[in-house]
Structure 1
């Protein structure tokens, strides 16, 4: 099926149950088992079905199937936020003494999580140049467990050299994890380019209305073979798990990465997504392709306006032919569209602040992917935890302004920016 059809029908059989056209909300904590044997079989994975909503839920299950299909993946696990998705994806493979390699262009919250918080667990991060991956291979050692990057970064609006990253990772037997939040499955599927695991903050474009917090982890088909081929590095998957009756994940004919994240991490740490949030996301994912196309078209018009404005030093948007990532946008993204994020450099910090304070249609908000247009100063908000050196390395300045372009008429948005800049 094509993506637009998957987004409406994927993972749900409306002929089951009462034939409800809308996926029902299974708003429940637990589930009644048929008998003692049925309960034991579910816990032993001899049968599959809902056990407890911290582990699985019928409404969330439909969403997981739908998002996995949209990304071309084999399985998915929905969690409580995008940050939870990143955290689970990393600690699913790494432990104290290990290291991960992360992109130099990441969302500020991901940077602090992966360079500071996870460091307290004994997992260290090395930083590579995602633009060309020129230094990536030299950073890999026997303790490297994952390479993490964003397909389209926030707020630099940079496109990673996915092909080179994947080639290097495969050559060295290292798992790749791509955050596809900004590009979305509507424009780009990392798995089709060889990426192993995809994460999203579903709070952003998948929700599209700023009403729901959520995250998802999606894995490609065939990861069991990858873990077996690299068993020394990823022994968690090939050796018995003492916390689950000696279960060997690669012996189970289910998607291994998300299965372990569900049984060993969601079970114990519990950053579960609520059934109601899953239901809300099922409503909004239906229009994802339509919305992302409109976001992209609007943003390109805004980018052209800003590029021609005398008070703007530079504009970061891969949809512009003048942008250094334009060729990559044409290579990787559907129809060369580049989603709804854009950033620009004002002439000074004072000018950047003045634009933000003067905008009327643009709300000063740190979210992205909303139907309403948003504006923010990354250095003092989303990336404020980073020091000056880290900000410079990430390509963020005190003059950087980030816009998340919504679904309004672009004529009105341009008029608002024009008055804010004058």
Structure 2
């Protein structure tokens, strides 16, 4: 069911292994998708709401009049929400707030010299657009994961966009709307895909020229390859969190792992999308065989069996056999998974050796699905190996560090000669002159 890549013995044979090239990886061609989204973004820029209506009809099969969801619809969705779902969302929100509250940075003033200070102020982005995907699943948890850190950071204006649904009169899924209402978000748009990112970037006016959606400063949230391409295209005009790709799980396990747990966790991420990646890294052939047997049993019994099977048998999934856990750690670091589970003996010590992962889940009682909903951690994480250089969504995503420089006369006098010397060295004499002007001879 899931292919195998056997790396055992190859290092001993003198091979230099490029783990990045050897581990399974989905091929997402964002560059090609750019050509598809470029005219979409241009259309939204020039025709605003009219273009959004036409694009929604074309891509979502929904005719909508108003792109903004009425506040009454948000209130109704919350009042009609299943009490058990509401309680679960409230617990998820509470735990996320607890974790993200500790990420808020304080301003720091450094005395560089007598009379000379540099203060680093942490200032929230003023307005953000948060994208919540639709499609094969419903993601109220993504509302929580995007909104909570933005609110903790102190963002003043938060707008949410999510694709319209045929079955709900052209509005986003009611559970999405209810999650927004629960978090106090009142600005919600029934717009999906690349056109939603363009709407956030350029804003959108109606036929009469009235501003329906104002431009934002930053866009965050996962989406499909077209959402990622629109983010790439518009980056610079707006800030972005990342170009998120299909979800990934890697499990680093030894013979002590429970194969039923490992199989269940691989399936849990595979059910997101046929392009989702599920990777097992192990030094135990016995475990690999047992996981294969469990996958056959569990896939047959799961609701989205076809989708899961497509993901598990795709090029992006597989079992990687390694000589030992040291090689396993090296493979895991090269893969830089969005989600990495450690199911080994002394799992905390093994986890401490990991350098590259969006989030690490330690031991048999910390499955990725806990992080998806209620661990308190954020589930908007880097994919496609980007965890080697990028972090997941956090309060810091919505903050900017601004240096505030304040020098007195004598503090400037004390360093003036150095400024002039460096200005001359760079052949920028006006820089030095700007200092000398303050100390006429």
Larger Cα-atom Rg: 2
Pick 1 or 2: higher relative contact order, CA cutoff 8 A, min separation 6.
2
TM-score normalised according to structure 2 size? 0.25
